[in-house]
Amino acid sequence: MKHIRILLLLLLSLVSRAAYGQQLSPQAQFSVVTCGPGTDLYAGFGHSAFRLRDPALGIDWVYNYGTFDFNTPNFYVKFARGKLPYALSKSDFADFLYTYQLERRWVKEQLLDLDAGQNASLLAFLEENNRPENRYYAYDFLFENCATKIPDVLKEVLGPGLEFRPDHLAGNRTYRDLIQLNLERNSWSSFGIDLALGAKIDREAPTEGYMFLPHYVREQMDNTTLSGQPLVLRERTILDLPNPENPLYFTATPLFWLLLLLGFTLAITTIDFRNDTRSRWMDFTLFLLSGGSGVVLFFLWFFTDHSTTVWNANLLWAFPPNLVWAFLLLRKKRPGAQTRKYLYLLLGLLGLCFPLWIAGVQAFSPLLVVAWAALGIRYAYLVRYLKAAS
């Protein structure tokens, strides 16, 4: 198998040389480019790409695996369902850099210590991958993105002599831990990711698993050897800019709105308790919010290609049937015994979240404790109210 692989790479190299009519010069230099985070969610984790510079031939190209087309038909539907195709693209480095200058994001590159044959093989691989029939791939946030493609390509081209050393990694982190390191905990992006992604991301990430994030690709390159020698010659800064500030206003955070919901629930439930009544609109609101959230999570689990939205224990409290029960509870007719049994089920499911969290089966957003308190208080009151009326 090893000989076949070497032969294939040699053939690709010959094809590449034929395509350009000449070999790369001795000045040719491949590097791994890392770009800092942006303010938009899709840019908040940074970016990785390959750069090839050959001053003798006037070459300065970027090979970018993070390309997608906003004009794709049904763009948002495909994005939500995990079916949006991503692609490798090739562009002039100046054009690539201009985007990051406009967005005020830093750019650094690590020069790779490759010989002429390895440069030719890497170029051949990227050019073959950039053919129209080869450039598209199914994006996966953890396992197939612009960052993971860097080590994958290097392993394919450079072979078993490439070693990713884990010396720089401190402690054992899960994929969820790594994601949250790049986010403000009390932000809608952090809260939404914790809701949407299931137990699959709560397993410990292996050494190569860290490299779904560009930051860790950059760190790993400095801790990678090729045939026992450091892969990176040196690092240099191309754009020296601070990470962009994205100020959070408390009134626009999920915690503020969850506390508002809890306060409203406590106030209405207290009034209902004193008057032995039931606010139908209070029940409708809570059941609509929890049930509607559950329907979205159910859709992400069963009707999309996302690999990280499965086995989501948030469905225990964001229970999809609540959406139907919301309209049943809106009626003036007093709920019957079936509703009381259903409430016992909801309280049991809500209580099950805590042992799953403590046992490490799935981590939940800490902000959810506020939402759980609102749901638990209202469920418990409804049980008491219906029991007293029976």
- Average pLDDT value over all residues in the chain: 90
Give the pLDDT score at 76: 60
Confidence of residue 44 (pLDDT cuts 50, 70, 90): confident
For residue 268, pLDDT beyond 70:
yes
For residue 18, pLDDT beyond 50:
no
Confidence of residue 10 (pLDDT cuts 50, 70, 90): very low
Confidence of residue 73 (pLDDT cuts 50, 70, 90): low
Distance CA 370, CA 387 (A): 26
Average pLDDT rounded to a whole number, residues 305-317: 94
Residues making up the chain, counted from first to last: 390
Structure pTM? 0.85
For residue 343, pLDDT beyond 50:
yes
Distance CA 232, CA 109 (A): 10
Distance CA 147, CA 378 (A): 45
155: phi > 0 → left, psi -120 to 50 → alpha, else beta; which? alpha
| CATH class name, domain 2-169+207-239 | alpha beta
Strands 224-226 and 229-230: antiparallel
Residue in 121, 203, 127, 130 with CA at minimum distance from that of residue 162: 121
Confidence of residue 279 (pLDDT cuts 50, 70, 90): very high
For residue 330, pLDDT beyond 90:
yes
Give the pLDDT score at 12: 45
For residue 306, pLDDT beyond 70:
yes
Confidence of residue 275 (pLDDT cuts 50, 70, 90): very high
Which residue has 């402690």 as its token pair? 171
Give helix then strand counts, H and E, for the chain. 13, 10
Q: Are 218 and 376 in contact (CB under 8 A)?
A: no
For residue 16, pLDDT beyond 50:
no
The single-letter DSSP state of residue 204 is: B
Give the pLDDT score at 75: 62
Give the pLDDT score at 245: 78
Residues of the chain with CATH 3.90.1720: 2-169+207-239
Residue in 176, 173, 242, 188 with CA at minimum distance from that of residue 40: 188
CB count in 10 Å sphere of residue 213:
23
Give the pLDDT score at 81: 67
Give the pLDDT score at 79: 65
The single-letter DSSP state of residue 325 is: H
Q: Model confidence over 154-210: pLDDT tens digits? A: 999 999 999 999 988 887 899 999 999 888 899 999 999 999 999 999 999 999 999
Burial class (CB in 10 A: 0-12, 13-18, 19+), 74: exposed
Q: Tokens in use for 182?
A: 């790049």
For residue 7, pLDDT beyond 50:
no
Q: Model confidence over 206-234: pLDDT tens digits? A: 999 999 999 999 999 999 999 999 999 99
7 vs 293, which has greater pLDDT? 293
Average pLDDT rounded to a whole number, residues 324-333: 92
The single-letter DSSP state of residue 25 is: P
φ and ψ at residue 4, rounded to 5 degrees: -65, -40
Average pLDDT rounded to a whole number, residues 23-49: 91
Render the burial of 290-315: b for 16+ CB within 10 Å, e for the rest. bbebbbebbebbeeeebbbbeebbbb
H/E stretch holding 371 reads helix 368-389
The single-letter DSSP state of residue 174 is: B
Distance CA 317, CA 195 (A): 11
Rg (CA), the chain: 26
Give the pLDDT score at 173: 93
Confidence of residue 3 (pLDDT cuts 50, 70, 90): very low
